Amino acid sequence: MSDAALTGRFDAVISLLTRLAAGQLEARGTPSDLDDDIDSVIVGINMLAEELQASHEEMERRVMQRTHELQQLNRDITQLTELGNLLQACDSVQEAFDAMSTSLSALFDGLSGVIYVYRSSRNVLEPKVIWGDLVDVPPLAPKDCWALRRGQSHVVKAENPALVCQHRLERQGDSVCVPMSAHGETSGLLHLVEPARPGQSPRPQPGPLTPAKQSLAAAVSEQSALALANLELTEKLRLQALRDPLTGLLNRRFVDEWINREVARTDQTGRSFGVIMADIDHFKQINDLHGHDAGDQLLKAVAHSIRNALRPGDLPCRYGGEEFLLLLADIDADVLRDRAEQVRTRISELRVSHRGGTLPTVTLSAGIAVYPEDGRTATQVIDAADAALYAAKRNGRNQIGVAHPISDAEGTGA
């Protein structure tokens, strides 16, 4: 071989190495037919180049996968933050359930799920939020879920199921159960499940229930449980603030809220609502002769009787002392008077036991008024019922007084 040919072959090797060094990993040398040492070098360089290219492609694949995972994590964190903001803005537990229904289906894309919440009896969990392919989800007994029994997340693999929860449906993919706990108490359960796979054969690629999604489920469970616990506490405190502690009836604060809303609703619909102002006759004598504990016992018994005499949608309230205000929506004057008479009759038949004896029989006087006939404002209609009550008192007690329809001049304050 001439010197020029040999030099040309060495130059080709150097060019190949230069291209590889510049990052052109697809570059390859072409051996000659001489099968000499230079050809061996070229073959070795090609093998090294193939290894470098394969390694580079694998690295790029991992970078792309990691980038995708980071992007997905960022989306999950954003959606989790949005869910937290939504839950903080909710005024009731039901509003929270509605917010979760929309958010969780997007947060756990490709997965079906259900959120169970314990009944007050603590022996059953009710499905409150359901999304995806799950329908007609039945209540859940705590013993039927391994996550609730163990107090930690429980994963079931479809291709190799072990310790399967009894509430898990057949023909489902991988699933996870995550207890929902707040303030040291388990309040519910988050259950996520993949769609079923034909024959439940192992999939070549990870399904939607990845370890990252399982971690996300734990975060959602903790966040949701805390939000629901806070809302339940808020609702409980609000209900306590609107309830009379002695009788359990709604109190005057509730009256103010309800009647103003009802005035606005009635003005829009053209319907009417009625109020009954009722007062126990000679109640002071019960307190003076038998003591305040007897008076309290009587008030509770009267409240119970009033509640039982009304329709399910009617609202009995303790207005103050021995005075009660009954709020009845969608009612006219004739039906309102009949309802007041039923209450009055029931109280006259009431017998209250106290300290082994029976308290004296009591009677009830009441006044009725209808909005807007007897008052153009919430204050006017209550005042009208109050005036009718005291007219009944003046006329001998144990009877129903009826408010007089208000004139246009009175209604406008002229």
> Model confidence over 176-185: pLDDT tens digits?
999 999 988 9
Q: What is the pLDDT of residue 411?
A: 57
Task: Please list the residues that pair with 177 across neighbouring strands.
Answer: 154, 191
pLDDT band (50, 70, 90) for residue 70? confident
Q: pLDDT tens for residues 343-357?
A: 999 999 999 999 999
Please check the confidence at residue 78 and state whether its pLDDT lies above 90: no
Point out the residues that are catalytic. 322
Residues in the chain: 414
**197 pLDDT above the threshold of 80:** no
Q: How many helices (H) and strands (E) does the chain have?
A: 11, 12
* pLDDT at residue 199 in the model: 55
pLDDT tens, 229-283? 999 998 888 888 999 999 999 999 999 989 999 999 999 999 999 999 999 999 9
Q: How many Å apart are CA 158 and CA 198, to the nearest integer?
A: 11
**For 384, phi and psi rounded to 5 degrees?**
-65, -40
For residue 176, the one-letter residue type is: V
Structure token digits, residue 191: 């259950």
The set of residues, in sequence order, having a beta carbon less than 8 Å from that of 251 and lying 6+ positions away, is 242, 243, 244, 317, 318
Would the pLDDT of 414 be above 50? no
Dist CA 396 CA 133 (whole Å): 68
pLDDT band at 410 (very low <50, low <70, confident <90, very high): low
Is the pLDDT higher at 355 or at 30? 355
Q: CA 330 from chain center: how many Å?
A: 30
Residue 412 CA to residue 245 CA, distance in Å, equals 38
Is residue 20 pLDDT above 50, yes or no?
A: yes
Q: What percent of the chain has pLDDT over 90?
A: 61
Task: Supply the pLDDT for residue 170.
Answer: 67
User: How far apart, in whole angstroms, are the C-alpha atoms of residue 200 and residue 138?
Assistant: 24
